[in-house]
Amino acid sequence: MTDTPFRTFVLGSGLRTLAVLAATLLLAACSASDSADSAERAVSADSTVAAAEQGPRVVLTTSAGDITLALYEDESPITVENFLQYVDDEFYDGLIFHRVISGFMIQGGGFNESMAQQSTREPIQNEADNGLSNDRGTIAMARTQAPHSATAQFFINVGDNSQLNQRGNQWGYAVFGEVVEGMDVVDRIAATETGTQPTPMGAMGDVPVEAIVIEQIRRLED
């Protein structure tokens, strides 16, 4: 199965305006439940700290620097297993961060420097109902508007993006880890100049003008 060109933020057309509009619409739909989620976020914070201490870690070696991630295998077992299989297969080596929106997120794991989309395994179950929040520094799975469509693409939240969280029956974007070293690299990538690039499927926006390459992702051994 190949990813569709809609595997962007919410994850849509590749145009910044649509990405921001989609996020805004999600936020508007969720605003009534914000106060009810405060306690849930406090519980999530405790569980994510424990997961960061105990779970597997990987290092993203990029052309902008290294990013170390702690993965939440207890809270997101399906997602972590899927991600680590791609890591072990060296799938991400040579791919790029193909969508960067300052203050929002950086997204990668689907395209190479020629903007050719990569073939993937079958999509996985969405684990956005795991109680984890799309806070700054967390990593989550990108997908289409279909809730259970995530394959290989991921994004790192640059800001607190609560509008992407699970809200009752409204599926969110599954958080499965967090940055524990290299958030300065994430911020540097987020600040890079972007533009519109041609792809075999049509023009895509928010693409770094100078490619940010994922040179490799490897597990950190104990």
Q: Is residue 188 part of a domain?
A: yes
pLDDT reported for residue 2: 31
pLDDT reported for residue 221: 84
Q: Domain of 89?
A: 16-28+55-220
Is pLDDT at 12 greater than 70 in this prediction? no
Q: Is residue 47 part of a domain?
A: no
Strand 154-157 to 175-181 pairing: unpaired
Q: Which two tokens stand for residue 170?
A: 């409204």
Cβ-Cβ contacts under 8 Å for 198 (sequence gap 6 or more)? 115, 204
Q: Is residue 5 part of a domain?
A: no
Count of structural domains within the chain: 1
Q: What is the DSSP string of 149-215?
A: ---S-EEEESS--GGGS-BTTB----EEEEEEE-HHHHHHHHTS-EEEE--TTS-EEEEESS--EEE
Cβ-Cβ contacts under 8 Å for 37 (sequence gap 6 or more)? 162, 165, 167
pLDDT digits (tens, 9 = 90+) for 22-34: 443 333 333 333 3
State the Cα–Cα distance between residues 33 and 13, nearest whole angstrom: 28
Give the mean model confidence (pLDDT) for residues 176-184. Answer: 98
pLDDT reported for residue 136: 98
pLDDT digits (tens, 9 = 90+) for 18-63: 444 344 333 333 333 333 344 444 444 554 555 456 789 999 999 9
Is pLDDT at 120 greater than 50 in this prediction? yes
Closest residue by Cα to residue 101 from 23, 27, 203:
23
Share of the chain above pLDDT 90, in %: 72
Q: Is residue 39 part of a domain?
A: no
Average the pLDDT over each of 10-19, 41-50, 90-99, 179-188 and give the range with the smallest value.
10-19
Q: Is 110 helix (H, G, I), strand (E, B) or coil?
A: strand
pLDDT reported for residue 201: 83
Q: Is residue 174 part of a domain?
A: yes
Q: What CATH number corresponds to the domain at position 185?
A: 2.40.100.10
HSE-CB at 8 with a 13 A cutoff on CA atoms is 23
Q: Is residue 4 part of a domain?
A: no
Burial call 188-206: b when 16+ CB within 10 Å, e when fewer:
ebbebebeebebeeeebbb
Q: Is residue 102 part of a domain?
A: yes
HSE-CB at 38 with a 13 A cutoff on CA atoms is 4
E strand map for 3-159: 57-62, 65-71, 95-101, 105-112, 138-141, 154-157
Q: Which residue has the tokens 């201490």?
A: 53
Q: Is residue 46 part of a domain?
A: no
16 near 153, Cβ under 8 Å?
A: no
Angstrom CA distances, 61 to 8, 37, 68, 182, stand at 22, 35, 9, 10
